[in-house]
Amino acid sequence: MNDKARLNYDAFTTLLEHHNMVVTTAEVHGVICGLICGGMAQNDPRWQQHFNALLNDDFELPAELKKAVNLLFSRVYDELINQSRFELLMPDDDEPLDDRLEAMMEWAAAFLAGFGVVQQELNKASAELQEMIQDISSITQVSGDFDQEDEESETAFVVLYEHLKLGATLAFEEFGKGQAQPQRPTLH
């Protein structure tokens, strides 16, 4: 599997299933976004410990999956730092709306988990970001049952999706771009 395919929702889902992971691609992406937006620096190796604690019961990932997760972390970080094409890793638009909404709720909950592990000082956030975090929390509770897949439901989904993107971007602007912990000198 090439690196570009690893970052596709369906290919990533297949990779997770291949390694018997019980998490979804949306959760993986959400945690990574939360860690980055909470202030975890790209070169800070602690992000992998946090990731494993949140999604893999503190176990190391298999090598192939670890490579894909590292690649995803780098891509998300680059998208946010360069303010370019940041998108949530979700099922394609041709998937049933209920499935996409379920993935969105999983992403939102995972984002909050990752963000909360890194960012312990939400009270120092702007009022706008504090409200946005509340909104993201509310999205985790959205009813996943649509009576029908109509234009109105699709529009509501897009509004929530864009709101999550905005929330992540705002969190990154306030808390992201973190700095790695300085190396402590080795004592002999």
Domains, the chain, ranges and CATH? 3-175 (1.20.120.740)
In this structure, are residues 42 and 73 in contact, taking their beta carbons and an 8 Å threshold?
yes
Residue 77: is its pLDDT beyond 80? yes
Q: How far apart are CA 15 and CA 91, in angstroms?
A: 15
- What pLDDT shows up at residue 147? 61
Q: Which of 133, 118, 135 is nearest to 179 (CA)?
A: 118
Burial label, 186 (beta-carbon count in 10 A; 0-12, 13-18, 19+): exposed
Q: Which residue carries 């709306």 as its tokens?
A: 97
pTM of the model: 0.88
Which is more confident, 183 or 65? 65
Q: Which of 153, 59, 172, 154 is nearest to 111 (CA)?
A: 172
Residue-wise pLDDT tens digits, 100-119: 999 999 999 999 999 999 99
